[in-house]
Amino acid sequence: MRRGDPPVAERSRAWFARPTEVVARDLVGCALVVDEGTPSAVVARIVETEAYLGTSDPASHAYRGPTPRSRVMFGPAAHLYVYFTYGMHHCANVVTEADGVAGAVLLRAASVEDGLQTVTARRGDTVTRSGLLRGPGNLCRGLGITRDDDGIDLLAPHSRVHIERRTGSPPIVVGTRIGLRHAADRLLRFSWLGDPAVSGPVPRDSVETR
DNA sequence: GTTGCGATTGGCT
DNA sequence: GCCAATCGCAACC
A16, part of any domain = yes
Task: CATH number of the domain at A115, please.
Answer: 3.10.300.10
- All residues at 6 or more sequence positions from A13 whose CB lies less than 8 Å from its CB, including other chains: A76, A77, A78, A155
Domain count, chain A: 1
- Tens digits of residue pLDDT in A24-57: 999 999 999 999 999 999 999 999 999 999 999 9
Whether A60 is in a domain gets the answer yes
Provide the domain limits for residue A34: 8-170
For residue A199, what pLDDT is reported? Answer: 80
The whole-model pTM stands at 0.94
Q: Is residue A191 part of a domain?
A: no
Q: Measuring CA to CA, which residue among A188, A148, A192, A156 is closest to residue A44? A: A192
**Mean pLDDT over all residues of chain A?**
93
Residue A208 confidence (pLDDT): 65
| Domain contains A185 | no
Footprint of strand B on the protein (CB under 7 A): A 50, 52, 59-62, 70, 73, 81, 83, 85-89, 91, 93, 104, 106, 127, 135-139, 177-181, 199
Query: For residues A153 and A177, what is the distance between their CA atoms, to the nearest angstrom?
Result: 26
Is A88 part of a structural domain of the chain?
yes
